[in-house]
Amino acid sequence: MSSKLTTLNLYLEPAEPRRLASLCGPFDDNIKQIERRVGVEISYRDNHFTIVGQPQNTLTANNLLRDLYVETQPVRGSTPDIEPEQVHIAIQEAVSVEAYDSSDDKELFIKTKRGVIKPRNPNQRQYVANIVRHDITFGVGPAGTGKTYLAVAAAVDALERQEVRRILLTRPAVEAGEKLGFLPGDLSQKVDPYLRPLYDALFEMLGFEKVERLIERNVIEVAPLAYMRGRTLNDAFIILDESQNTTVEQMKMFLTRIGFNSRAVITGDVTQIDLPRNTKSGLRHAIEVLSKVNEISINFFASHDVVRHPVVARIVEAYEEHDMHQQAAKARREQAEKKAQQSAEGDINEA
């Protein structure tokens, strides 16, 4: 599976604001659902949509947007709303998992003292291969796809092979506005809650006592993203987690901190952005700006890449289905109320 990304430009005609709003859904929910399940990044301005991802995925998303836009054609003068259930069914019909070329299936695995970690699907294998081959690797996709866990495993492997001298873990502490001074404890303790997934992976691979010793010796360093400014990071394996919550300026600052003999992995989910409204995600911006830089690898994961216990997976699917039904019912109620209001206004005007 090629890691080369394609940028596809789509213009939806005729450019009618009401139809475009129906396509995107409230708060861009329909766009986010397509991004999450197809494994692409979509940005738009008016009727111009830009789709970034693997060639087959961008084509799938392009066809989805075209087909769904056709469904917004006015009926008896009224523009129908695109409901979450429609998007779900359209994606199910359109998405087909690409056949994986077994001839390229090299036995990729990561050795740690606690055992061997093997990628479980084609996208994970490609992701691990790209981390080894590239100085900067992006892993973009929903929770549960292994993007953070595999990044930590690769960092531990590089440290034990003495390819790097230290591991640096960082994350934007959006919930506290990166103003952590009011929290008790030292710097590490202040950011512990935000970096818990990274800690858990380290403890699993190295053991609690060894991780504690490495942190004391500063071989493993934990710091909020705001503390990266002004530093140059040489001989290090750097992981930026939850990068969808960086601003454009923060992402640029982080990427320019990387020094000689260093590798960086940036992970995030563009559908789970917690930044203030009208603040553009640094991850989204970086995908747009860096997608054609050959030395940088950008890997997209989709919902079918989620690796979970089967029972948990079924629970998640049940909740997602329930949410879609709830959203569809809400949309129908709002549409009925709107029609009733229009009818009442018409009766008043006639009177």
pLDDT tens-digit readout, 10-22: 999 999 999 999 9
Other beta carbons within 10 Å of 80: 14
Q: Is the pLDDT of residue 330 over 60?
A: yes
Q: Which two tokens stand for residue 347?
A: 């009766």
Q: Is the pLDDT of residue 118 over 50?
A: yes
The domain defined by 6-95 folds into: Ribosomal Protein S8; Chain: A, domain 1 (3.30.1370)
Q: Is the pLDDT of residue 187 over 70?
A: no
Tell me how far apart the alpha carbons of residues 297 and 265 are, in angstroms, rounded to a whole number.
10
Tell me how far apart the alpha carbons of residues 273 and 269 are, in angstroms, rounded to a whole number.
7
Q: What is the mean pLDDT of residues 159-163?
A: 87
Domain ranges within the chain, ordered by starting residue: 6-95, 106-301
Kindly state the DSSP code that residue 265 receives in the 8-state scheme. Answer: E
The domain defined by 106-301 folds into: Rossmann fold (3.40.50)
Strand order in the sheet with 41-45: 6-11, 48-53, 41-45
∠ at Cα 120 (119, 122), nearest 5°? 85
Kindly state the DSSP code that residue 228 receives in the 8-state scheme. Answer: G
Query: What integer pLDDT is reported at residue 309 of this predicted model?
Result: 56
Query: What does each C-alpha distance from 294 to 48, 260, 286, 333 come to in angstroms?
Result: 26, 18, 14, 49
Q: What is the mean pLDDT of residues 243-256?
A: 94
Tell me the sheet residues that pair with 45: 48
Other beta carbons within 10 Å of 53: 27
Cα four-point dihedral sign 268, 270, 272, 274: positive
Kindly state the DSSP code that residue 146 receives in the 8-state scheme. Answer: S
Query: What does each C-alpha distance from 132 to 135, 154, 199, 204, 337 come to in angstroms?
Result: 8, 8, 22, 21, 56
pLDDT tens-digit readout, 66-111: 999 999 999 888 889 998 878 887 887 776 434 333 334 444 677 7
Tell me how far apart the alpha carbons of residues 216 and 167 are, in angstroms, rounded to a whole number.
13
pLDDT band at 128 (very low <50, low <70, confident <90, very high): very high
Strand boundaries in 227-279, DSSP class E:
236-240, 263-268
Tell me how far apart the alpha carbons of residues 58 and 49 are, in angstroms, rounded to a whole number.
11
Tell me which residue of 100, 87, 98, 90 sits closest to 53, measured CA to CA: 98
Query: What integer pLDDT is reported at residue 99 of this predicted model?
Result: 33
Q: Considering the chain, what percentage of its residues have pLDDT values greater than 70?
A: 84
Q: Which amino acid is at 269?
A: D
Radius of gyration of the chain (CA): 23
